[in-house]
């Protein structure tokens, strides 16, 4: 074997004792490299280090091989990890990639690390999708473009990377999923441990979810049992966390009921638990048949199928991609998807024909020898060595045209003050310093924006507390609708409506929020409710006479159409509203005053944002150009002598022909300008708007007329504005939501991910 012992490697991945397939894989790969290549136990090796991803704030009790930790949902941890790696002794970085283990949209926080790390990188892909979303496509192309080598575990994955993702085939290596080296032998001696001695035993393993096809196997088993009364079918594995979160254990209970209804409950054994790899191998060696009746073809790798082959288990499977490769050449039996008769026939054949079963077992076991960890470790070591020898220009060629990216650091997204201001009714409007002020009750203007923030936050963090607040806000919106279909705005703390009908502004903000949830719901039920409310609310804007509510409504239509681009009534409404704003501008504007009325007041950036998004929706360059002209004017008149953002104060607003009032400056204008600059950048690809976004955002951080930060990093709140005598010390809802909307948008932009929202 070549001498690879010069190379030291840092693995970026989830890691044991976290219960995760990637964590187990990384531990086994690291152990294999340590034992086979470096000839030392992993815990004693200084040439392998793990940068572990934590899915909780507490982390895990790791062994000494974990040299650094990252929180999944903390973007700053990715940059810190890159700095650690750059200063470390490790020669090369190996990224284990699965979308779900990295933070951000489609795991794009990983890009913050890749953009900063200077060491050579290789990537192991545990998922390659045939039909990726734009975000998934972007992340994987950026990862592969930064990697000197890309490792996949199936030949089909190599072809897909070339055909779908445009990755050069010479960049990609196929290395089998590693497997333990276990002896080949009779299944019977191992059955006693699992209380199935003397019984033909079938096994299915994995997190339970509807796409695993267990129902098909239960239906098939009902046809096998009359001829094999003593057969045992073990369903091993906990319910998938996502399934359990949505419906508890109802899915598993449904499977159990199905077995009872078929009269095979004595033949089916459910083990609702996570098992170690050692225990899984014992189960596999005790099983006569291993079944993977998956319902989808698009699975490019399956660790458990690899383990089954390596243990010499006879396999019956549906023909998903990985199974087609692993079980080729008579190493298993493939049956059509969701075909009960074929599945029952294959299982019956193997139970009846000992010679056939023995042949499949031996073929699979022999094939598995090339997959054992010692062999896989040597192949990895060779790739590590090759990448370290590459020229820097070879390691990171331009796979795709990269958008400009904001390189400056951003504060962490923290929702502490949002939760503090939220009770079981809604979001309190005001605060005395950082303490919620119950005297002023609630406003749907705030609750609607909080609904958007909660949906954005849940997409990033998937935390139950965020989801609970989201449903509180949505419940308030639903309850606020009056008998004529309009929304009440203000409610007192004792839950009495202070008014029967809210302003047109609040109707527009509600439509904006509803549209956003239709496009980005935390669950399908929330989408259904918001879609219904949106369709009921949209007619309110058929004859609106006010520009700012029309702009908010256009934002809602923009998001709604992203979900349902064929909704002609919403598209027509959006067009009419945009044309109405243009008419107002044309009737009021002059060369030095491109505005729709004689005063520029609050939330001004939403006007050009709405025009730009309407222009994108209808491919209307005149709308985009007009929106950008208005935005450029707003940015110009709100620029101070030193180049800092100097907002229009609400102490009189800015009136045509009069000086701009300097104070009271409000955060709501920043959120609007950030949103408008984002839309302008999406429409024009002009990096100037990225710089303007950052300039606007920095107002919160102290680049303003007073040189004072507006963010309280102890409470995670935002002060209520800049006054002539200093910062308003109260931390109310509107300023907080403006900060969070701006911060979340900036985080989205920092990765250089595809721009998908205005």
Which DSSP state fits 54? E
Q: What is the pLDDT of residues 354-395, one digit of tens each?
A: 999 999 999 999 999 999 999 999 999 999 999 988 865 555
Report d(CA 659, CA 516) in Å as an integer.
37
Task: Concatenate the DSSP letters of all residues of 639-665 into one string.
Answer: B-TTS-B-PPPTTT-EETTSPPP---B
Provide the CB-side half-sphere exposure for 477 (13 A, CA).
Answer: 31
Helix (H, G, I), strand (E, B) or coil at 240: coil
CA 677 – CA 386 distance, rounded (Å): 44
**In this predicted model, what pLDDT tens digit does every residue of 227-245 receive, in sequence order?**
999 999 999 998 887 788 7
Say how far apart CA 47 and CA 8 lie, in whole Å.
Answer: 4
| CATH superfamily, domain at 188-369 | Glycogen Phosphorylase B; (3.40.50.2000)
Q: Which residues of 375-389 are buried (b: 16+ CB within 10 A; e: fewer)?
A: bbbbbbbbbbbebbe
Sign of CA dihedral 12, 13, 15, 21: negative
- Supply the DSSP string of 465-511, one letter for each residue: HHHHHHHHHHHHHHHHB-TTS-B--EE-TTS-BS-SS--HHHHHHHH
- The predicted structure's pLDDT at residue 637: 96
Tokens of 446: 């705030």
**How high is the pLDDT of residue 400?**
39
CATH number, domain 9-178+374-395, options 3.40.50.2000, 3.40.350.10, 3.30.1490.440, 3.90.78.10: 3.40.50.2000
**Token match 């002209």: residue?**
629
The residue with tokens 């809210």 is 502
Angle at which helix 277-286 crosses helix 303-310, to 10 degrees, equals: 50
- Give the β-pairing of 48-54 and 121-125: unpaired
Token pair of 200, please?
């033909």
Q: Cα separation of 12 and 619, whole Å? A: 43
Cα(471)–Cα(463) distance, rounded to whole angstroms?
A: 13
Q: Is the dihedral of CA 484, 490, 495, 497 positive or negative?
A: negative
Per DSSP, 312 falls in state: T
Burial degree of 437 (CB within 10 A; 0-12, 13-18, 19+):
middle
Q: Is the dihedral of CA 737, 608, 603, 495 positive or negative?
A: negative
Give the pLDDT of residue 231: 97
Token reading at 576 = 């009419």
Domain 629-751+754-758 has CATH 1.10.1370.30: no
Dist CA 470 CA 88 (whole Å): 42
As a whole number of Å, the CA-based R_g of the chain is 30
Whole-prediction pTM: 0.78
Which residues contact residue 33 at a Cβ distance below 8 angstroms, ignoring those fewer than 6 apart?
9, 48, 377, 380, 381
Mark out the alpha helices in 231-372 (DSSP H runs).
Answer: 241-247, 250-262, 277-286, 303-310, 321-326, 340-352, 354-368
- What's phi and psi for 71, nearest 5 deg? -80, 135
If phi over 0 gives left and psi between -120 and 50 gives alpha, with beta otherwise, what is residue 49? beta
Burial track 495-512 (b if 16+ CB lie within 10 A, e otherwise): eebeeeebbbbbbbbbbb
Cα–Cα distance list, 217 to 85, 255, 264, 305, 345 (Å): 47, 10, 12, 16, 11
CATH 3.40.50.2000 domain position(s) in the chain:
9-178+374-395, 188-369
The pLDDT score that the predictor gives to residue 270 is 94
Spatial CA neighbour of 115 closest among 408, 411, 414 = 408
Instruction: Compute the half-sphere exposure of residue 698: CA atoms within 13 Å on the CB side of its CA.
Output: 18
Cα gap 416→555, rounded to integer Å: 27
Query: Distance between terminal CA atoms of the chain?
Result: 56
Nearest to 580 by CA among 590, 569, 588: 588
Which residues sit opposite 432 in a β-bridge? 435
pLDDT tens sequence across 3-18:
555 689 999 999 999 9
Residue 391's pLDDT is what? 65
| pLDDT value for 216 | 96
Query: What stretches in the chain show pLDDT beneath 70?
Result: 1-6, 391-408, 750-758
Tell me where in the chain the CATH 1.50.10.20 domain(s) lie: 629-751+754-758
């Amino acid at each position: 074997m070549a001498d690879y012992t010069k190379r030291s490697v840092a693995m970026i991945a989830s890691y044991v004792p976290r219960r995760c397939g990637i964590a187990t894989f990384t531990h086994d790969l690291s152990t294999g490299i340590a034992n086979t290549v470096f000839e030392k136990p992993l815990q004693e090796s200084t040439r392998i280090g793990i940068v572990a991803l934590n899915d909780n704030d507490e982390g895990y009790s790791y062994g000494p091989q974990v040299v650094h930790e990252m929180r999944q949902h903390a973007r700053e941890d990715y940059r810190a990890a890159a700095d650690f790696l750059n200063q470390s002794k490790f020669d090369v970085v190996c990224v284990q990639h699965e979308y779900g283990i990295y933070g951000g949209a489609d795991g794009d926080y990983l890009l913050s690390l890749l953009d900063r790390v200077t060491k050579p990188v290789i990537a192991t892909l545990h998922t390659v999708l045939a039909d990726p979303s734009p975000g998934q496509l972007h992340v994987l192309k950026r990862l592969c473009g930064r990697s000197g080598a890309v490792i996949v575990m199936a030949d089909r994955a190599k072809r897909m990377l070339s055909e779908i993702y445009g990755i050069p085939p010479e960049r990609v290596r196929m290395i089998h999923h590693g497997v333990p080296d276990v002896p080949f032998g009779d299944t019977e001696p191992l059955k006693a441990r699992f209380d199935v001695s003397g019984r033909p035993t079938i096994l299915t393993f994995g997190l339970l979810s509807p796409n695993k096809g267990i129902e098909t196997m239960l239906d098939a088993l009902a046809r096998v049992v009359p001829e094999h009364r003593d057969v045992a079918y073990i369903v091993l594995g906990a319910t998938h966390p996502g399934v359990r979160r949505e419906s508890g254990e109802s899915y598993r209970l449904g499977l159990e009921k199905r077995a009872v209804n078929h009269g095979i409950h004595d033949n089916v054994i459910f083990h609702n638990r996570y098992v170690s790899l050692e225990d899984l191998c014992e189960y596999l060696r005790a099983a006569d048949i291993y079944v993977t009746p998956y319902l989808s073809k698009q699975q490019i790798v399956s660790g458990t199928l690899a383990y089954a082959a390596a243990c010499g288990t006879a396999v019956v499977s549906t023909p998903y991609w990985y199974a087609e490769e692993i079980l080729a050449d008579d190493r298993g039996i493939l049956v059509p998807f969701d075909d009960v008769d074929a599945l029952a026939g294959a299982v019956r054949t193997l139970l009846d024909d000992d010679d056939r079963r023995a042949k499949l077992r031996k073929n699979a076991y022999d094939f598995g020898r090339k997959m054992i960890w010692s062999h896989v470790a040597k192949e990895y070591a060779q790739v590590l060595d090759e990448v370290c020898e590459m020229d820097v220009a070879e390691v990171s060629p331009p796979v795709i045209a990269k958008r400009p990216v904001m390189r400056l650091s951003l504060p962490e997204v923290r929702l502490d003050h949002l939760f503090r201001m939220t009770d079981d009714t809604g979001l309190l409007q005001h605060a005395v310093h950082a303490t919620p002020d119950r005297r002023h009750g609630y406003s749907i203007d705030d609750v609607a924006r909080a609904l958007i923030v909660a949906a954005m936050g849940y997409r990033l963090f998937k935390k139950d507390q965020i989801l609970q607040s989201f449903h509180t806000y949505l419940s308030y919106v639903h309850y606020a609708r009056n008998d004529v279909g309009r929304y009440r705005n203000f409610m007192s703390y004792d839950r009495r409506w202070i008014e029967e009908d809210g302003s047109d502004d609040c109707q527009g903000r509600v439509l904006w929020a509803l549209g956003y949830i239709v496009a980005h719901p935390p669950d399908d039920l929330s989408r259904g409710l918001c879609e219904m409310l949106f369709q009921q609310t949209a007619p309110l804007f058929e004859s609106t006479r006010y520009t700012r509510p029309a702009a908010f409504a256009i934002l809602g239509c923009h998001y709604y159409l992203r979900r349902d681009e064929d909704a002609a009534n919403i598209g027509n409404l959006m067009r009419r509203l945009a044309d109405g704003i243009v008419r107002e501008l044309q009737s009021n504007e002059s060369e030095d005053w491109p505005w729709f009325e004689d005063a520029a007041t609050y939330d001004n950036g939403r006007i050009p944002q709405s025009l730009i998004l309407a222009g994108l929706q209808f491919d209307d360059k005149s709308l985009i150009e007009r929106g950008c002209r208005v935005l450029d004017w707003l940015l110009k008149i709100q620029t101070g002598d030193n180049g800092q953002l100097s907002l229009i104060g609400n102490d009189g607003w800015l009136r045509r022909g009069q000086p701009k009032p300097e104070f009271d400056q409000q955060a709501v204008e920043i959120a609007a300008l950030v949103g408008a600059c984002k839309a302008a950048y999406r429409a024009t690809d002009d990096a100037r708007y990225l710089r303007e976004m950052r300039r606007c955002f920095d107002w919160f951080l102290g680049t303003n007329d007073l040189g004072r930060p507006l963010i309280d990093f102890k409470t995670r709140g935002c002060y209520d504005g800049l006054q002539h005598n200093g910062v308003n010390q109260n931390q109310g809802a509107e300023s907080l939501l403006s900060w969070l909307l701006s911060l979340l948008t900036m985080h989205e932009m920092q990765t250089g991910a595809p721009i998908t929202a205005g």
